[in-house]
Structure formats: structure tokens, C-alpha cells
Structure 1
């Protein structure tokens, strides 16, 4: 995968090139408020499809906003973005909703997915365990991208691996979901992992 395809000044292509013959599907997963919508938005070459709704007082009893800052909206179905990797290959990114009440949407979204990129917030690692359980229940290979909201606090990959009880070969990479280059590197780490598992 060529990282230059993720430059900040990439052209906004609406339609796929006529030569595209193959599509790859990746799901971007993580707990509520971890940055999935931002991550897909930073990489997508098209205006991402977002299904965000304003959060209201009615959701207060079921949505834990602790650690989510000033979050005012939430994804209620999916996020969708696209990256054309070559003249023949396109990558589709599907972002899952983070709340447990939307888990039933996961099954359809994971069908045909090559793998998953799991975003985690190191300040809320406990919220990641149910997501890991879901990813593994669908049999998806995955990599972990640590999207830290506090740049002054940085945990080593080995500390994240131990805290989440990850397998030794599960990649762990740090990223900033707002930054194109950082998000692209996290995605490439997942792709390298998937290639190593199929090779």
C-alpha cells in the first residue's frame, strides 16, 4: 500500500475509475466516542457517509459520556468512506456504532470484511473488552490503533497489549484519528498484518 495515496491534498473523486475490478472491505470498530467517525473522515477520498444524530437527555441513562469530552452527536447506523488504492483496487471503510444497543448492526457490517481496525482510548480501556469480544466472535483478524485524547499521556505498545490481554502477534500502533498520515499508518499496519496471515 502506497502511503502517498493518503496525502492531505488528494483530489476528491466522486466516481470510481472505470478499471476498478476489486473491492476490499475493512470495518473500523471501537467503543463509544473513541474517534471512528473522525478516523474515516480523515482518510476517505469522498465525502464520508455519516449517520450521526444529536444526543439528547433521553440517552443519558444508556450512554456513558465519561471520558468522551464535549461529544454532542453519535453514530446510529454506520460511517462509510472510500479509498482508491490503485487503478484496479478500492478499499471501503465501514465504521460501526459504539453503543451496545446498536450491536445488532454489526453482523451485516462484518459480512465480507477482510479485517477490523480497533480504535482504543487508553484512558477508557475497560470499554474496549466488549468490542474485542465482538470482533473475535465474528472471526475477524484485527489490529489495535491507540487514539490518545491526551498527548501528554503515552503508553507503550507493550503496556496496551498487556492491559487488553492481546495475542503476541496482534499489532498495536499509536495514531491520531484527526491526522491523515497517522490514520493511514494505522490502516497500513492492519493491512500488513492481514497480508502476513494470508501469506
Structure 2
């Protein structure tokens, strides 16, 4: 009798768990706030480095500039969003044979960012026709909307992917300069 009760109770428990799992559903994350994904990417995208043979290929490269000590910066996209900002994506490749230590200047020179984690806040966009410079946007806690928290060095042959968000220039502006410490200026075209 006891064995029958235990078996019945176990079957009931399994049925309840199955019903609960079905009722909750896994979902596809479609209800997630897409605006929040940028800050998650800023914390995660810089933390992993990959060897160049594992780096995903991009369809386009808007500009490639060579920096100090065998590093290169590829800018792969600059997309204007209807929300009034431009997102620049790219990667820094260590093509040299030694470990490259990332300079603190990459994080910008503003005092408000002195205690912030490593970031790409030192990057700016320049609209030379309108004579305007655009700095990396900040969130409500004054954190730059860019890749941050990456390792302080890039191994030989590895890449560091990045993104940075800026206020969008006027709709008539389709070409801007990118300035980033340690690299020559690059001219890129904004899409969207």
C-alpha cells in the first residue's frame, strides 16, 4: 500500500512539473528589451579575444588604419539608427609578434571617466563640413556606450572587437572621420 502511494505521489509530482514547464514556456527572448542588449554587449564583447583564424569574417571593411606596435583597426560598419545615434563596429587586430598593452588613452581623458573601466570612450566622430565633433554617448550612470571591461592586453595574433555609439550627425551627412588615440584618422561612410 505504501509503495503504491509513493508511486502515485511521484507520478503526480512529475505531471505537475511537466505542466509547470509547459505553462512557463521557454520563449525565444523576443520580449527582451533590445535597447538593453548594447550595454550587455559592451561588457561582454571586449572580454574575449580570438586568434585571427577564428575571427568571423565581415562582409565589408569601411576603413583599415595601422596603429602603434603592429596593431590594426578595421571599421566594419557605421549605421545610423532612427533613434538618433550612430553605432560604429570594428575590431583591433594585433598583427605583431608580441603582446600589445592597450593604452589608457583609449578610455578618453575626461575626469568623469577616470574611475571607469577600460573602454573606447576616447573615440570621436568628426563632421568636417559642419565643423562638429561627436563623443561617445553615455548612459544614465555616465558609463560610455561602448565596449568596455576588456583585457588590458591583446595577445599576438588576437583581435578585440568593439562597438561605440555616438549622437547621429545631420541626415545630410554621410561621411565622417574617426579619431582614436594611437591611430591615424580614418574616413568612413555612414549607412542608414
Place the TM-score, normalised by the shorter chain, in its bin: under 0.3
Q: TM-score scaled to structure 2, two decimals?
A: 0.26
| Greater fraction strand | 2
Q: TM-score scaled to structure 1, two decimals?
A: 0.26
| Greater fraction helix | 1
| Largest Rg, 1 or 2 | 2
